[in-house]
Chains A and B, each alone.
Chain A
Amino acid sequence: MKNVFRLAAFAAALGASASVLAAAAVGQPAPAFSAVDTSGKTVSLADFKGKTVVLEWVNPGCPYVKKHYDSANMPATQKNAVAKGAVWLTINSTHSGASDYLQPAALAGWMKEKGGAPTATLMDADGKVGRAYGARTTPHMYVIDPKGTLAYVGAIDSKPTANPADIKTATNYVNQAVAEVVAGKPVSQPATQAYGCSVKYSD
């Protein structure tokens, strides 16, 4: 009957207008996203459902990123997490007009040269993923537990300097958080003040 048809259309119209506001705070569900990696493949957070996921915001031009890569600290943290069964996604949200923007091939080359071992390196030149997560600095670290909730948000370690000598004496918050999440324990330091250069979003 035409009224049934009309009612169905009406219900569909109403239902289709729902949406979800994202917030990237510890304890909140991690915002879903999809981005293209440096080899052109599309990678989504949903691909890794049920796994521990670490997100790392990077910008090779930033001295604080250089501190952790030239000293092999970040590659070691990546390998450590992947060995424990976690997925590591490195994300570059530098917009294409910035002076230190790298083309995907150049970014992949840099990552290889530094011995980095992320599961994927993602391009986020329009800043959508960065803004969804409120990523402010490079590096900025997020650890998502297997249930999809943010378990850690903050800095890579406890000494906010550009001096690589400080890495030895600093606490590596990501190693700590990944170990605790994988073991099913509550994260002892779930939120710390991230340090680094600002993420180069477009205005």
Chain B
Amino acid sequence: MIGAHVRPVALRHAFRPGRLDNRGLPRLLLTTMRLLRALFAALPFVLTLPASALPGGAATVTTEQVRAELVAHAPQGVVPGQPLWLGLAIEHQPHWHTYWKNPGDSGLPTTLQWTLPDGFKPGEIEWPTPARLPIGPLMNYGYEGRLLLPVKVEVPSGYAADTLKVKLRADWLVCKDVCIPEGGDFALDIPVASAFAARAADFEAAAAAKPRPLPDVRATATVAADGLSLVIEGLPAAWAGKAIEFFPEAPGVLDNALPRPARWDGQRWTVRVPLSDQRIDSPARMDAVLAAAGEKAGVRVGFDIAGAWPAPGTTPKPAAMPAPAAATPPLGLGLALLFALVGGAILNLMPCVFPVLSLKVLGFASHADDRRALALGGIAYTAGVVLSFVALAGALLALRAGGEQLGWGFQLQSPAVIAVLAALFTLIGLNLAGVFEFGSVLPSSLASLQARHPMVDSFLTGVLAVAVASPCTAPFMGASLGFAVTLPSVQALAVFAALGLGMALPYLAASLWPGLARLLPRPGAWMARFKVLMAFPMFATVIWLVWVIGQQIGIDGASALLAVLLALAFIAWALGTPGIGGIGRAAFGAIGVLSLAAALSWMLPTLQASAATAPARSGEAGSAWEPWSEQRVAELRAAGKPVFVDFTAAWCVTCQYNKRTTLADAAVMADFAARGVVLMRADWTRRDPAITAALAGFGRNGVPVYALYGRDGAPQILSEILSVREVRDALARL
């Protein structure tokens, strides 16, 4: 090796036959000196061919978390016109990571500062394709395991030295759950005239992992308040249908942790990436790295951005899932109206509505002769019902247009609303049971109003009927009404009007039908007993509402509500039961008001109870069901696991029915386990904007929704009333 570099000239000169004269000694000395110089020049190569320990740094820095080494790749030596690669090789200890050029929500990228002789120009780090590093609700981008960060160096012509002295100051942030900023000073001497390729394999691997540009890619990007929508054609054909990870190269523009809904249409990939809520830039052009889940090498795509960046401070709306191809096709408007009509008629049978309605109908018997009044009353009632439903739907639509993440059933997601409804039903039940009469509670002038304006009375009865019926619509009709809300406003309101019409139809028919009064039994003592009987379905509804509020705020809150109801009942009795004298009424009334104040002071703080203090709903110890999160679904899908999500709520009776029948069926659970399906439960009992947004992505606005995600493609939405056969068939097709 040494011989190859030491020029033979000196030797030839040294041993050339020649006369020994008085010029021979100086010549011999000169040659010897040249030989010695050549030997000395060769020595450093002997000593430094592995990494050197020179003043100013070693080639390797080892810490408890990483082993970092300055490496080089010069297969033809350091020659102008040939690539010279330098790099920092980092071997991370397990579970420790360093960061990409865009580190994500936190962290800092590794930095390299080179000291090279004049004329050598180091380029930028050629970052390999990063990986996603989730940490809680945040997301970082970086590397674990073995990493090489290569840098291409331009070699100037005319570099005369025999070695290239490279110095590097590198700083990196290495984190696991804690973060440690580390750094080191590195030095390496590279022989100019020989190949330096001991780490060729690492450099080749780094080159393979580098995101490659695609010549035929076409990418269009448009920015709006809900995110950056990107459409890309020309991605590798093998990627079609796979989950694609998207890494923006510039930090501070796009959100890193929220899910990015994406879909494939043939070879075209569309994604919507939410904007960062703390965005600092509005670039006209961006670059990003895309990687197919499971493939090491990604691609690099640049795109111009059309559209106007929203003004800073505009609330970005969470991106919704694009409509999945395999979802139940939406109903036509006509069919939706028909279903609403029938559904409304069925509402009359609900324990909430039936008592009130049946008593009004029975009241016809006493007014059998005044058919015109009855008919007008019926029409007024219908108007009250229809307008109330339309108003309720209008309020929901207006709130949603204002950015609220509400769905149908929104009334029941608030414990305060449930408490008020429970109080209302209790009072109505007590009234039916005969504990008090309204006539004694309210001033007589108001009572006479009822007699003078029977049409207004009928109208308001209609409004009451809707108030009383609305909590009962969510349990049974949540999904259908939820779909209705997603229609254009006019169509949505029409569906709700049809619902109201359907609900009013039986009463309207009864009031218009002349023969009904004759068919009804004659008024008698039985009417009083029937009225009391109707109190029981009312109380049953109260029990259900107390159960729902217990799910939301815990047993303490539910008991507090019962105390409030008891106090209200006492007040109603004290003020409304006939036969107590004025003093007694005042005394009992006062006691009642004091008890109510005490009960309210107990209950009101419990309404604020957060989900953390309420009993865990979906997490029974050892339960097969995980709590849902959009992120976890994306992770599991990227890992190729099938996922079944049960969007449910405590107040949704259909959901509870399915939960206790089909979803508890042994054969169904066995099928889930056999196919390795991960089971997740999204509990919408209390307001949850993330779940509302996910439901909106399926084109739904209510529960239940059952979504089955296969290995790829869009999720399949199963029907509302789940049957064992349907689930097993869907699993078999996975």
Contacts and interface: CB of A to CB of B under 8 A. Distances in A.
A83 interface: no
B144 interface: no
Nearest to A18: B399
**Size bracket of the B interface:** 35 or more
B106 A137 contact: yes
B29 interface: no
A201 B136 contact: yes
B553 to A, nearest CB: 14
A9 to B, nearest CB: 5
B399 A26 contact: no
Interface residues of A, number: 56
B468 to A, nearest CB: 9
Choose among B313, B406, B417 the residue with the greatest number of A CB atoms under 10 Å from its CB.
B313
A198 B135 contact: yes
B447 A1 contact: yes
A32 interface: no
Interface string B38-57: 00000000000000000000
Interface stretch (B234-242, B275-283, B361-369): B275-283
Nearest to B106: A198
A162 B183 CA distance: 10
B161 interface: no
B312 A100 contact: no
Interface stretch (A48-56, A69-77, A109-117, A186-194): A186-194
Interface stretch (B174-182, B199-207, B336-344): B174-182
Interface in A172-202: 190-202
A9 B431 CA distance: 15
B464 A200 contact: no
B417 A131 contact: no
B629 to A, nearest CB: 9
A98 B178 CA distance: 9
Contacts of A160: 108
A203 interface: yes
Contacts of A79: none
Interface stretch (B408-416, B510-518, B519-527, B656-664): B408-416
B687 interface: yes
A61 interface: yes
A28 interface: yes
Contacts of B413: 17
A69 B639 CA distance: 42
Nearest to A203: B136
B315 A28 contact: yes
A92 to B, nearest CB: 15
A2 B432 CA distance: 13
B689 interface: yes
A12 interface: yes
Counting chain A CB atoms within 10 Å of each CB, the highest count among B177, B179, B442 belongs to: B179
Nearest to A24: B277
A154 B278 contact: yes
A134 B277 CA distance: 8
Interface string B304-318: 000000011111100
A153 B278 contact: yes
Nearest to B612: A126
Nearest to B176: A99
B286 to A, nearest CB: 15
Given A6-B460, A161-B171, A197-B179, A17 B136 contact: no
B138 A195 contact: no
A23 B438 contact: no
A66 to B, nearest CB: 10
B177 A17 contact: no
Given A1-B446, A154-B278, A6 B417 contact: no
A195 B105 CA distance: 9
Contacts of A191: 278-280, 312
Given A9-B423, A190-B312, A199 B414 contact: no
Contacts of B431: 2
Interface string A143-183: 00000001001100000111000000000000000000000
Contacts of A18: 399, 404
A198 B106 CA distance: 5
Which of B106, B178, B446, B456 has the most CB atoms of chain A within a 10 A radius of its CB? B106
A192 B449 contact: no
Contacts of A199: 106, 136, 138
Interface string B89-118: 000000000000000011110000000000
Q: Nearest 7 A-B pairs (CB), nearest first? A: A27-B313, A1-B446, A162-B181, A198-B106, A201-B136, A3-B460, A10-B467
Interface of A: 1-7, 9-10, 12-14, 16-19, 21, 23-28, 61-64, 98-100, 126, 128, 131, 134, 136-137, 150, 153-154, 160-162, 190-203
Given A21-B404, A191-B279, A197-B106, 10 more contacts: A1-B447, A4-B446, A5-B442, A16-B420, A26-B278, A63-B181, A99-B177, A153-B278, A197-B178, A198-B105
22 contacts: A1-B446, A3-B461, A6-B467, A7-B463, A14-B395, A16-B416, A16-B420, A19-B687, A23-B277, A25-B279, A25-B314, A27-B313, A28-B313, A62-B179, A63-B180, A131-B137, A136-B138, A196-B106, A197-B179, A200-B177, A201-B136, A203-B137
